[in-house]
Structure 1
Amino acid sequence: MLTGIFDEAIYDEVISSNPCRFLRKPRIMKKDIQPFSVSEMHRIIDYVDNFNFKSYLYIAFYTGMRSGEIMGLKKEDVDFEKNIIKVKRTRGRHGENSPKTQSGFRSVPILDLLRPHLQELYGQHDHEYLFVTQYGKPYNHNETFYNKFWLPIFPILGITYRRLYNTRHTFATMMLSGGYTTPHNLAQILGHRDSQMVHQVYARFINDGKFDFKLDINPY
């Protein structure tokens, strides 16, 4: 905007040069991510005794899916034959929507360690959604999980507080640091358009070793 104003001033011969030409855009320093350690992840999952939330955490830690994507899962989205979860929608406070970008529509692999927990959740009820309340209705968002189960965990276990979103960071860092997949494949799993975001956010965790993706791995 300032550049345009000064250009007009030059046109009106009020000034002879545009001072904005010598300005550089400030660099935005992104906050360093704080994934959970392997021991913290296990302690959290082991402590939770609510079936729905424990299932939620297994999906979050072992797929890297976003909260809204997990809450929006339907049984039809889970293909146990192909070992994939199809991400088609998201649920939140403002209702149900499609993923914001085309890359958000994707297939996420079902790791062998996640499979039995996903199958148990799948067989709990006959509703079309995976996560339903005690009243037989799908959750609109994860606020109940967050307030009732997530927040109390940290002072009890003595773990530094982090958002539920950090389960996504944890999955990404464990997959990369263990050399279980490439940044390009991880970008597809997480729903990014390309691997640029992965390189920017997780650069220090990228392992250039083995990159053959297998379903029988234990990233934690």
Structure 2
Amino acid sequence: MGKIVERPETGKLFFDFRYRDKRCREQTALDNTPANRKKLQAILKRIEAEITLGTFEYHKYFPNSPKAQEFTRQAELRRSREAHDTPLFSEFCETWMDEMRVQWRKSHITTIEGTLKNYLIPEFGEKEVGHITRQEILSFRASLAKVQTRSKKPLSASRINRIMTPLRMILGEAANRFEFTSPFQGIKSLKVPRSDVEPFSLEEVRLILATVRADFRNYYTVRFFTGLRTGEIDGLQWDCVDFQRRQILVRQALVNGEIEQTKTDGSYRHIEMPQLVYDALKDQRKATGNNTFVFCNGAGNPLEHNNVTKRVWYPLLSHLGLRKRRPYQTRHTAATLWLAAGENPEWIARQMGHTTTEMLFRVYSRYVPNLTRRDGSAFERLLINEFEAKVTPEEEAASDEV
């Protein structure tokens, strides 16, 4: 319900009402007198009646108001949309998200929502999905290449591709639904430079495990010799450790502090335990066996990977004089060790959570030796030979210094 209000500093009256869920306050040149109030009240009553009937035109009452221009532009967009029967990009995004979120993990939903909010809606929100052009898409992508991250670096090709993917999906769905040709057709993803893996050598692995803090030795032993991803090992729970069959069951991962199901069917797998991993988990059972998570903090909560990386991993590498590498390189190390041991590529792919050997050969091609047809035994023998020596007192003392 609107009202007529006096502005204290001037003594002039102004309208105060709501239109299209927005508060509107329009100043007049009339003094606060009973006659003027009655006059403006009659106008306000007429405005509210027209709003109710849907016939109100803001510019007819307040032609010089900035809001009049805004509401007029919105009205023209709506009329244009109705004429061409395609919604605004922002409106269609809401529909698309409501339909798609049921099939996505929470972390992926958060990523897509962030991409829409930060990039796509600001650029295309007020455009009709049926009127977005190929040129506008290419211009938008070119503008992304000029965006700088917090570290003053331009967005990478892979990051730009991840921003463009939801746009391609949205326009493709809109094109099917409203029967127009998607302007995204024929636009290829940017070429992403091939990144080389940086696995650790056996000598480096042995040095790391001999020097790392005792409470993290089991953690990194499992990481180095199973190929588990960070989210998979941080989300590993004791009910997924099968000592009888010597298997780790990968069923879930810790993503943004929450447990979620594995990303793909291939990631849903079981990993064979070599003896070193078996012993490490048996030892870990004594420390955290009463908790849900295999590796956890003192309160029984899962590890926070950024904290572990900054406070344990990077200081350890620096202390040992090793090149700084992300913890994910432990996964690459497992793959290259399996290949060096001559394990069956199909078996390695299953251990890694890949559905085929294609990625294995593409990423680790230079680490592939003359392969044999073994399924874990060769790797087991390699670890026994390389790690049969016990940790010396000198190595134990060195670990306490980190």
TM-score scaled by length of structure 1: 0.83
- Mapping of 1:2-21 within 5 angstroms? none
- Mapping of 1:51-130 within 5 angstroms? 51=215, 53-125=216-288, 126-130=290-294
Identical-residue share of aligned pairs (%): 26
Name the counterpart of 1:32.
Answer: 196
Amino acid in the other structure paired with 1:214? G
Distance 2:210 2:320 in 1: 11
The answer to whether the 8 A contact 1:92-1:140 is kept is no
Higher RCO, 1 vs 2 (CA within 8 Å, ≥6 residues apart): 1
Offset of residue 72 of structure 1: 0.9
Q: Which moved more, 1:162-171 or 1:29-38?
A: 29-38
Amino acid in the other structure paired with 1:144? N
Taking a change above 3 Å as real, the CA distance of residues 183 and 50 of structure 1, as seen in their structure-2 partners, is same
Distance 1:57 1:24 in 2: 40
Distance 2:309 2:189 in 1: 37
Taking a change above 3 Å as real, the CA distance of residues 97 and 116 of structure 1, as seen in their structure-2 partners, is same
The answer to whether the 8 A contact 1:86-1:106 is kept is yes
The answer to whether the 8 A contact 2:231-2:255 is kept is yes
Amino acid in the other structure paired with 2:276? L
The answer to whether the 8 A contact 2:295-2:303 is kept is no
Which of structures 1 and 2 has the bigger CA Rg?
2
- Structure 1: gaps spanning 5 or more residues: 6-20
Distance 2:221 2:205 in 1: 10
The answer to whether the 8 A contact 2:341-2:382 is kept is no
Name the counterpart of 2:349.
Answer: 187
Offset of residue 217 of structure 1: 2.4
Amino acid in the other structure paired with 2:367? F
2:337 matches 1:174: yes
Q: Which moved more, 1:103-112 or 1:148-157?
A: 148-157
Task: Give the length in aligned residue pairs.
Answer: 201
Greater helix fraction, Structure 1 or Structure 2: 2
Taking a change above 3 Å as real, the CA distance of residues 50 and 147 of structure 1, as seen in their structure-2 partners, is farther
Name the counterpart of 1:211.
Answer: 373
Name the counterpart of 1:133.
Answer: 297
Distance 2:287 2:205 in 1: 24
The answer to whether the 8 A contact 1:61-1:171 is kept is yes
Distance 1:32 1:117 in 2: 30
Amino acid in the other structure paired with 1:101? T
2:307 matches 1:144: yes
Q: CA RMSD in A?
A: 2.4
The answer to whether the 8 A contact 2:227-2:334 is kept is yes
Name the counterpart of 1:8.
Answer: none
2:366 matches 1:199: no
TM-score scaled by length of structure 2: 0.47
Q: 1:161 aligns with which of 321, 324, 337?
A: 324
Name the counterpart of 1:15.
Answer: none
The answer to whether the 8 A contact 1:113-1:218 is kept is no
